[in-house]
């Protein structure tokens, strides 16, 4: 019986090692092919040269905080891939006391959007991994989160925080309040379901999740959640 258990264990170990090797091998090959066509630095430069690009200094700190709270609360602690966050995301699907969350970091989502890798395949995820690692190595956290809010989909055909802030709220990104920032920050998780034109009530419910996440991160107090939620935007 012990020999059989050892055999099964060794077999599983071999399979896991093989899977990891294939996953990262194909991902690195995909990364090389992708960046040979257009380097990460060139893609980033293209984004930064956009007329609607908003620099970190011109974005409300509240929007940055709201985005990090709902999307990637360990953003400043991980190196592009949050392994603790992956475990939390898995547990959150079965624990109603935890806010539901995904496993992708802001850096991974930025990588996906920079190269428009929107197909949900293992090959895409593994390539995304290497792009995210490059971003973390060559750009600061502030640069990464700034790029993210400039390329992410905010629904209603608004790409980036400038279009979303002006289009939805007639407000410049630097002037966004906590109430406004928390409303916008929830949209990218499901742009077609949370856009403020056709799904305002759903967006307001999502805003509540964002405000709770901000409170959990210490960005706002629990007692202020309702006030921000009910504030005029």
Residue with the larger pLDDT of the pair 174 and 91:
174
Residues 6 or more apart in contact with residue 190 via CB below 8 angstroms: 206
Residues 6 or more apart in contact with residue 6 via CB below 8 angstroms: none
Query: Residue 4 pLDDT > 90, yes or no?
Result: no
Query: Residue 1 pLDDT > 70, yes or no?
Result: no
CB-CB contact of 110 with 144 (8 Å): yes
Instruction: Lowest mean pLDDT of 25-29, 37-41, 136-140, name the range.
Output: 25-29
| Of the candidates 209, 106, 200, 207, the residue with the CA atom closest to the CA atom of residue 151 | 106
Residue with the larger pLDDT of the pair 82 and 7:
82
List domains and CATH numbers for the chain: 2-230 (1.10.3810.10)
What does the alpha-carbon distance between residue 5 and residue 1 come to, in Å, rounded to a whole number?
Answer: 6
Question: Bridge-partner residues for 153, per DSSP?
Answer: 159
SS3 content of the chain, % helix, strand, coil (to 5): 70, 0, 30
């Amino acid at each position: 019986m012990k020999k059989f258990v050892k055999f099964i264990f060794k077999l599983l170990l071999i399979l896991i090692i093989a899977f990891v090797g294939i996953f990262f091998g194909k991902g690195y090959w995909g990364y090389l092919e992708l960046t040979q066509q257009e380097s990460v630095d060139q893609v980033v430069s293209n984004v930064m040269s956009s007329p609607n690009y908003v620099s970190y200094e011109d974005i409300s700190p509240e929007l940055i905080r709201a985005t990090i709270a709902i999307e990637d609360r360990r953003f400043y602690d991980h190196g592009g891939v949050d392994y603790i966050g992956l475990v939390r995301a898995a547990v959150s699907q079965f624990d109603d006391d935890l806010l539901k969350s995904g496993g992708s970091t802001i850096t991974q989502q930025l990588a996906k959007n920079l190269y428009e890798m929107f197909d949900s395949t293992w090959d895409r995820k593994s390539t995304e991994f290497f792009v995210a690692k490059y971003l973390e190595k060559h750009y600061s956290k502030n640069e990464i989160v700034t790029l993210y809010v400039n390329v992410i989909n905010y629904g209603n055909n608004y790409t980036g925080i400038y279009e979303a802030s002006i289009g939805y709220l007639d407000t410049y990104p630097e002037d966004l309040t906590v109430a406004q920032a928390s409303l916008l920050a929830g949209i990218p998780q499901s742009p077609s379901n949370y856009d403020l034109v056709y799904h305002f009530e759903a967006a307001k419910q999502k805003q509540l999740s964002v405000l709770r996440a901000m409170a959990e991160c210490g960005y706002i107090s629990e007692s202020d959640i309702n006030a921000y939620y009910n504030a005029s935007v």
